[in-house]
Structure 1
Amino acid sequence: MADEPLVLGIETSCDETGVGIVRGHTLLADAVASSVDEHARFGGVVPEVASRAHLEAMVPTIQRALKEAGVAPGDLDGIAVTAGPGLAGALLVGVSAAKAYAYALGKPLYGVNHLASHIAVDQLEHGPLPEPTMALLVSGGHSSLLLAPDITSDVRPLGSTIDDAAGEAFDKVARVLNLGFPGGPVIDRMARAGDPDAIAFPRGLTGPRDAAYDFSFSGLKTAVARWIEAKRNAGEEVPVADVSASFQEAVADVLTRKAVRACRDNGVDHLMIGGGVAANSRLRALAERRCEDAGITLRVPRPKLCTDNGAMVAALGAEMVARGRSVSAWDLSADSSLPVTEPHVPGGESAEAEHGRGDTHTRTHTRTHSHSHDHVHELSKGNLY
């Protein structure tokens, strides 16, 4: 275990400042500072507010993670950071912080993909991922089916949302029901007292001629809003629990149906579900039942690891180190539309030279390699940690 890479990961793609530390597949620290309360009064995430919150939370969150893990900054074998996709300003804060730490400490830098990180985090819960891995990622910004023969270098999109993502639909339905923001957790709670079969809401893109692996939740969202509006216009009370349960059932039904089909069609006998919506209790329960019926092994991380966090970034970073993937260059930039087909942002041979790295990426090497900017390390000690 001592020979496994010790990596710190930074996540700032949206409204959570996450810093995680892992050693190989073992989670040592998962510190998160959320600005969700600041966004709640606006009914959604405000990019400018998110960026400022990341700036204020970054150093304290890194310090908290280091303390929780019981490691010193100099012990780290690498720094990983979400380079995209996400909110441009929010990503920039994380990338800038990661570059500063890596530069000052003389450690290799790994810019990684947010979506691939959501897959990698499952290794902290259930051990090494089978290859290839089928992943269903569902969050506020993404609903995707991905086939990953190698999460560090080969992630293939099979399908994605053509309009609203599942998490976005949860937020919008919660807003219509006056349940507040974020919508996912509150709808999940309200649905427990409701009847999932009370209202027959539509299932988008489930016809025989529809795209087998794509998702559409815009029509469902609109159908729910119109149903609620009709009730209110008629002067009738809206059965919030039944609406929540029926809407949630429609989302979970479509997601699990398409995920199981993707596994069958591609000869994969296991399914990993990640992203914030994967914390939904009905989605987890229905996926478990359908996977069991289909002979598919289901892997879902604990709810805390499904939402955005630094641990998932560290997990993918540790995998990059272990597999000898190239480091990122010092001019690494945030890419709000980074495609999932790019699990990490390599820097090539010039980056290897800049980092003082050779052909190997072992823990011993990264700890002993010399860095041409040791004076930056000394000047920055007081500010970084």
Structure 2
Amino acid sequence: MIDTLKPLANARETGSASTSPTFTVLGIETSCDETAAAVVRGTASGPGEILSNVIRSQVSEHAEFGGVVPEIAARAHIEILDGIVAAAMKDAEVGWNDIDAVAATAGPGLIGGVIVGLLTARAIAAAASKPLVAVNHLEGHALTARLTDGLDFPYLLLLVSGGHTQFLMVNGVGDYRRLGTTIDDAIGEAFDKTAKLLGLPYPGGPAVEAAAMSGNPSRFPLPRPLLDRPGTDMSFAGLKTAVRTAAYNAAPLSDRAVSDLCAAFQQAVADVVHEKGRRALDIFCEHHPDQPPVLVVAGGVAANSAIREKLAELARETGVRLVAPPHALCTDNAAMIGWVGVERLRLGPVDDSRVGPRPRWPLDASAQSVLGSGRKGAKA
């Protein structure tokens, strides 16, 4: 096993009657291939406390396919979610009378898994007479730094996950402005596809990072897409194609060549993030000239050490504060989902019992999709 307010009537208070109310929330996360439940606690302000955080990864179930199979993921969620929730409650040493709300991911994600988690949370909330908080999975990543570091709004967020790569201004709970995004592959997707191309095991991101540690990033000259154009949008599909071309020209690939290709690819990604991050910071400072800038990096790819090091370099160059949550809270987890529940309860009563699951759910609903949209909504 492996974190003027109008509080709800059952929100407990600590100490005297004048102290801040305390909210305790059960969080459930099933948007991809991690089945997770957690119990988190927070008061009216400041950082929170993770009472339990149970995560069961499905890597072994999907490894032979080289990626996540939605049907297998949904079936695994069904089989083990009840036990994961029970374990989270036991680890936190709480009962249903101690819980103020149940929060669950309602999207975006693989729709089968999202349905399993949201309907389970809805049933638990109804049975325990607790409010349900339907959470945008991306908002969980966006607010994790407030759980761990108690950050004040606003701040600049680099959200880097398997399916999303975006710079966002985080102005408040539910108030997000997208400054730039990828026009094709997300960074996590590019890592996974590069790993598969080079014959590395699933999951691809950690495999590429591990191979890159012994590689020479200068051996293969790879492009830095869109750096010659203004703005903060990014592109990684062309970089992935460049890796394919370099691998073809160097075939048959030795272990050394694979390591060098991984190092070159990873360095190219980090360089793009560094430059686009600088531009995003300039925009942030234009909108908040009197606010000391804070750069937050969150999402599964935020665990990549090369990207973190490049962002740390950017922070030193610009004098901004860099906040990167612990690795365990960058990948998909339920603590961040429960924390969004706490943040929502801080603002007043919540009733999301009629909210349905969504395969797509952009944080900035006003931003025009660069990838198009359809019946399921905007793609990014």
**TM-score, normalised relative to structure 1:** 0.84
Q: Find the partner of 2:308 among 284, 287, 303.
A: 284
Corresponding residue for 2:160?
A: 138
Q: Find the partner of 2:218 among 177, 194, 197.
A: 197
Equivalent positions of 1:144-293 (< 5 A) are: 144-150=166-172, 152-209=173-230, 212-232=231-251, 239-267=257-285, 269-293=293-317
Query: Secondary structure of 2:354's partner?
Result: coil
Structure 1 moving runs of 4+ over 4 Å = 235-238
Aligned residues: 337
* 1:111-141 deviation digits (Å, cap 9, x = unpaired): 01111110112223212x2211211011111
Q: Return the letter of the residue paired with 1:303.
A: H
* 1:20-76 deviation digits (Å, cap 9, x = unpaired): 111011111110011121111111111101100111120111011111111112210
Q: Return the letter of the residue paired with 1:301.
A: P
Corresponding residue for 1:372?
A: none
CA, structure 1 residues 97+126, in 2 after alignment: closer, same or farther (shift >3 Å)? same
Structure 1: gaps (5+ residues): 344-385
Q: Find the partner of 1:4 among 4, 14, 22.
A: 22
CA, structure 1 residues 199+130, in 2 after alignment: closer, same or farther (shift >3 Å)? farther
Equivalent positions of 1:70-85 (< 5 A) are: 70-85=93-108
| 1:231–1:237 CA contact under 8 A, matched in 2 | no
Measured in 2, the distance between the counterparts of 1:125 and 1:76 equals: 21
Measured in 1, the distance between the counterparts of 2:283 and 2:319 equals: 14
* 1:275-302 deviation digits (Å, cap 9, x = unpaired): 1000001111111111111111000011
Measured in 1, the distance between the counterparts of 2:329 and 2:35 equals: 14
| 2:131–2:350 CA contact under 8 A, matched in 1 | no
Q: CA deviation at 1:236?
A: 6.9
Measured in 2, the distance between the counterparts of 1:122 and 1:68 equals: 23
**TM-score, normalised relative to structure 2:** 0.85
Aligned CA-pair RMSD: 1.7
Q: Return the letter of the residue paired with 1:216.
A: S
| 1:113–1:342 CA contact under 8 A, matched in 2 | no
Measured in 2, the distance between the counterparts of 1:156 and 1:325 equals: 25
Query: Secondary structure of 1:131's partner?
Result: coil
Q: Return the letter of the residue paired with 2:206.
A: P
Measured in 2, the distance between the counterparts of 1:6 and 1:341 equals: 27
Q: Return the letter of the residue paired with 1:66.
A: M
Q: CA deviation at 1:340?
A: 0.9
Structure 2: gaps (5+ residues): 1-12, 15-20, 43-47, 367-380
Moved more, 141-150 or 193-202: 193-202
Measured in 2, the distance between the counterparts of 1:13 and 1:201 equals: 33
Moved more, 65-74 or 195-204: 195-204
Corresponding residue for 1:310?
A: 334
Measured in 2, the distance between the counterparts of 1:94 and 1:80 equals: 10
* 1:319-352 deviation digits (Å, cap 9, x = unpaired): 1111226321x22210111121369xxxxxxxxx
Q: CA deviation at 1:199?
A: 2.0
Query: Secondary structure of 1:232's partner?
Result: coil
